[in-house]
Amino acid sequence: MKNILIVDDEQDIVESLKFVLETAGFNCYTAFDGEEGLRLAKEIIPDLIILDVMMPKINGYKISRLLKYDSKYKNIPILMITARSQEEDKLIGEETGADEYITKPFDLDDVLKQVENYLGKQN
């Protein structure tokens, strides 16, 4: 079973993402702040990470950069969630190595499609 790590300080968003992804056959780990997210990522080495940008302690950009510059984790696809839709944010995201960008409010089915693009359909 493919493992997905969801990192977002909004519990409700984590919950809905987790529900949809688990229904689609993925195994989900969750973290509610950047610090916990980074710790979990290194511990479980998931197959994909869904990462919010604005979080307490460590923000999403930093986590993404830390993981992408480490050969152990750099191949993990990162889907970055942001409330901003500014082009400049996307540019920063590219620099930090995020693979995809999802702008709030997002469509759950779109996220599922993106995840399946990377990990393939389950079941």
Q: How far is the CB of 43 from other proteins (least distance, A)?
A: 27
Give the Cβ contact number of residue 19 at 10 Å. 12
CB of 5 to other proteins, least distance (A): 18
CB of 64 to other proteins, least distance (A): 18
To other proteins, the closest distance from the beta carbon of 75 in angstroms equals: 28
Classify 69 as helix, strand or coil: coil
| Rounded (to 5) percent helix, strand, coil in the chain | 45, 20, 35
Q: Which is nearer to other proteins, 87 or 120 (CB)?
A: 87
Q: Which of 43, 83, 95, 113 binds other proteins (CB under 8 A)?
A: 83
Pick from 17, 31, 40, 119 the residue near other proteins by CB under 8 A.
17
CA distances from 81 to 1, 31, 71 (A): 24, 14, 23
Q: Amino acid letter at 63?
A: I
Q: Which segments within 8-99 are labelled E, that is strand?
A: 27-31, 48-52, 78-82
* Positions in the binding site for other proteins (CB under 8 A): 10, 12-13, 16-17, 19-20, 23, 54, 83-84, 86-88, 104-109
